[in-house]
Amino acid sequence: MNTIPSRSTFDLSLYLVLDPEMCGGVAGMARVTEAAINGGVSIVQLRALEWRKRAFWEAARALQPLCRARDVPFIINDHVDVALAIDADGVHVGQKDLPAKEARRLLGENKIIGVSVSNAQQWREAETGTADYIGVGPVWLTPTKPEAGPALGVDGLRSLIASMKSQGSTMRTLAIGGINVNNARSVMQTAGVDGIAVVSAICANGAPEEAARALCEVIES
């Protein structure tokens, strides 16, 4: 019954990061998740940096079935224990979270692991930690993640990816940070990006299904 794509086959093209404040709590995240999947989101992450783990776990249990019903991978930000508890499809870890290597050891070989990276050194570490994709950014600065480092810009993104690919990296890449329907094209034209991640472009849009559909059209074009 479970037809969630595997570590190597999942679709990274339009990656939704759910933000509980923007969506309006768990009920809001549920509405956004369903609408965004209808609109073409291919993978969903729950991120709630300010939430204690009980609330996070309860939200994850509510949202996971919505993704599973549509064969969309459901990824947990940061909390490997929550991912284990609910048998999520994977985790996404940043530089302030557990190292990817530890996450892999705890989650085993079948789960998706993503890592946020901003530079070549972090990219290499993610690769060593057997990450399945990396979120490269922030492309632009964004109020949703003030702790993220300085913006790479599209040029910085392009040059980092080109440099790593020229050194033999085959890592799948996701651009993240301030991406919306207006600037998504410039990001997608960056050689080597397999997808884009958005937060506010969908979560803070009153019409999340249409927002996702518009982003998909940019990605496919």
Binding site for a second copy (CB under 8 A): 52-55, 57, 78-82, 84-85, 95-99, 102, 105-106
The residue among 102 and 220 lying less far from a second copy, judged by its C-beta, is 102
The residue among 86 and 141 lying less far from a second copy, judged by its C-beta, is 86
Task: Kindly state the DSSP code that residue 54 receives in the 8-state scheme.
Answer: H
> Closest separation between CB of residue 145 and a second copy, Å?
13
> Can 116 be counted among the known catalytic residues?
yes
> Closest separation between CB of residue 118 and a second copy, Å?
15
- Active-site option among 68, 104, 111, 145: 145
The residue among 84 and 204 lying less far from a second copy, judged by its C-beta, is 84
> Can 145 be counted among the known catalytic residues?
yes
> Closest separation between CB of residue 112 and a second copy, Å?
16
Rounded Cα distance, 22 and 204, in Å: 5
> Can 54 be counted among the known catalytic residues?
no
Which are the catalytic amino acids? 47, 116, 145
